[in-house]
Amino acid sequence: MHFMRLTIIVPAHNEEKRIGRMLDTYLPFFAGRYGNEVEFIVVINGTTDRTEEVVATYQERYPSLRIVVEPQSIGKGGALMMGFRMARGAWVGFVDADGATPPEAFQALMDGIGDAGGIIASRWCAGAQVSPRQPLDRRIASRIFNWITRLLFGLKLTDTQCGAKLLRREAMLAVLPTLGITQWAFDVDLLFQLRRAGYAIREIPTTWQDVHGSKVKVVQASMEMVLALTRLRLMYSPFRWVVPLYQCTLGRILHPPGVERDHLLSHTFVLLVGAQVGNVSNLLFQLAMVRMLSGADYGVLAAMLGALMGLCTPFSALSGTATHFAARYMKAGRPDRVALFLRRIMEALLVPVVVMALIFVGGRHELIGYFQLEDPWPFYVAALIALAIPHGMVPGGILTGMQAFGWGTTIGNGIGVVRLGLGVLVVWAGCGAVGALAAHGLSGFAGLVAAVWVCRRLLRASRQGCADPMSPEAGRPVEVSMREASTYLAGYMTSFAGYAVLSNADLVLVKHFFEPAQAGAFAKAALVARIVFFLPQPVAVALFPKVVSEGDASYASGRTLIKAFFLTGLIVAVAGGFCLLFPGFMLRLLAGEADPAMIPVVRGMVLALAPLPLVSAILSHEVAQRRFIVALPMAICAAGYVAAAEWRHETPMQIVWALGIASISALAVVMLMLPWRAMSGREKNQ
């Protein structure tokens, strides 16, 4: 059977703005060189733009161009496998639709394949020309991915992910039946199968141009690529049975068929990994304070930090509100509106800050007495920090809304590192709990200044790159009143106020009712137990933007919530189980001592706090969809908790029991209030 000389396959998904440039260079180059002996197959899959129309304009001039349209989004791998089955060339290659690899560089693959089964272009071989240089985050992600690929599959290649590859026809047909990965790991799967089939793979340096408009988000994609490699390695190992078992069990929960992937799992892991520097710094700060301060001083510090965290929880609504409106303005191409929103909300916050200041001044004696503080200075320092909390929440939310996740993570981690270093320094100098609180406040203030500076810098750059605000390219201007923002903010704060009491009031209550030494011991036990509370929090953070609506629940949002509930429960079970089984070890590790009297408190607090991360996931789901009715049951549960503590507080364990009952009650009630009918899809079916 006679085969034409070359087939070039181009997978395309929403490429109307880039594929024309690629076809303008490839079609005349290869048609002029090979004439009727070359064919192009453009596989358009899951496209919602004009990609098919753009490609069709070239068919009259180039009869060798074939268009394949697949309505479903089948990924790069699925599109290439479809093209492989239709290819009529003796050599079958593929290239990205963005035109990053010029036609001369692809021809170099034809010239260099020799008797090898396949040849790939590399941006990392000596002699490769990459212009302009890729951003640092992409270069780092590429090298990490390559290192993992070498480790798991033994592929001694420098660049498995470059989009230009060429295969001998018989090699392609030999591995085609075994290919099954359609997403990130397709290239690795293809090359691994070629090597297993005994075909040699060559690699040559290439010329590559970084083309603007890539739809790949580095942080998100990196985690998905690692997970894809892990799955692929399992498929070719004695543990291959894990993959179908996962698909039949957990896979149906995490990735239900017929529902668009929300990437909650990968995003949760991204947040977990990205936050680890800050988490480690915060943990080291607590460990240093436990060891450097007396029990009474640490009890004072823990109570003040607990009270501040209680304020942060409802005020975190400011961050969520800023994220929501910043994202809307940026989507409309109006960074000037983001800057205006930032300025107006910062100005508007001056009123509540003044009210808070008056409350602190007028009620200072009562508050100092409530905390049983012999020295009033911890209260004064904590009050100053509290006054900065509202303004400190806004810039971080703006950065999230602008999708500047790298900057947000960097600033957050920097705050933790500065607090640790400054805290150790001032406490070592003899400043005690007051110095530790001051270090906490100064590091936060530095983070606020840095976040505002970054916001202004990014917004200025965005405004310079925007078209005229009234032009069609910029989109229709979006007007969102501060009244709408204030309404959303009030609903958010009200919904999370009760949750703030449940999650943070234990330290405050114990400090109020018990002696300083006893309160300090309880704070150490609570520090260990709070692992079960803090570790799952990224799940709720990742969930929130995925289920945003104007008040309507859906089947997709319900599945995302169920997935978040499952992930949260899994993390709680693992972390909580470890603390329950090894409380003494955890006390020695985190608190520096393992008093047997503290072990029951650790176990009790673990069980009492365990329902709260699940409550957090549900609250995030409801508030994201503007259903603020959950505020009422949360307030009732919080009030019941405080009332029970006021009624019975002979021992700290009674407060722990009150918290446990309130937490379980809150979880049960908010679960009952979920719009199960809408989330199950029954309303749509009817």
Note the pLDDT of residue 275.
Answer: 65
Note the pLDDT of residue 683.
Answer: 52
Q: What are phi and psi of 431, to 5 degrees?
A: -85, -5
Contacts of 205 (CB under 8 A, 6+ apart): 121, 122, 125, 126, 127, 128, 129
- The three-point CA angle 183-184-187 to 5° equals 95
Note the pLDDT of residue 468.
Answer: 42
Q: Measure the CA–CA gap between 209 and 226, rounded to whole angstroms.
A: 25
For 596, counting Cβ atoms within 10 Å of its Cβ (0-12 exposed, 13-18 middle, 19+ buried), the class is: exposed
Q: Which DSSP letter does residue 658 get?
A: H
Q: Measure the CA–CA gap between 583 and 600, rounded to whole angstroms.
A: 9
What does pLDDT average to in each consecutive run of 10 residues of the chain (686 residues)?
A: 84 90 93 92 89 91 91 86 92 92 93 92 88 72 81 87 91 88 78 91 89 54 67 78 68 58 64 68 84 85 82 76 74 77 86 90 86 85 89 85 71 86 91 90 91 86 52 45 79 86 88 84 87 87 76 81 89 92 86 81 93 93 87 93 90 92 95 87 51
Q: Where are the alpha helices (DSSP H) in 261-349?
A: 264-274, 276-292, 295-331, 335-348
Q: Measure the CA–CA gap between 260 and 48, rounded to whole angstroms.
A: 15
Q: Measure the CA–CA gap between 445 and 459, rounded to whole angstroms.
A: 21
Note the pLDDT of residue 252.
Answer: 62
Note the pLDDT of residue 685.
Answer: 43
State how far the alpha carbon of 535 is from the alpha carbons of 265, 390, 613, in Å: 14, 24, 9
Tell me the angle at which helices 583-591 and 555-581 cross, rounded to the nearest 10 degrees: 90
The encoded tokens of residue 159 equal 């660049």
**pTM to 2 decimals?**
0.64
Question: Using omega within 30 degrees of 0 as the cis cutoff, is the peptide bond preceding 376 cis?
Answer: no
For 12, counting Cβ atoms within 10 Å of its Cβ (0-12 exposed, 13-18 middle, 19+ buried), the class is: buried
Note the pLDDT of residue 586.
Answer: 86
Q: Are 210 and 130 in contact (CB under 8 A)?
A: yes
Q: What are phi and psi of 228, to 5 degrees?
A: -65, -40
Domains within the chain, CATH numbers bracketed: 4-216 (3.90.550.10), 293-480 (no CATH), 488-686 (no CATH)
Q: Are 137 and 60 in contact (CB under 8 A)?
A: no
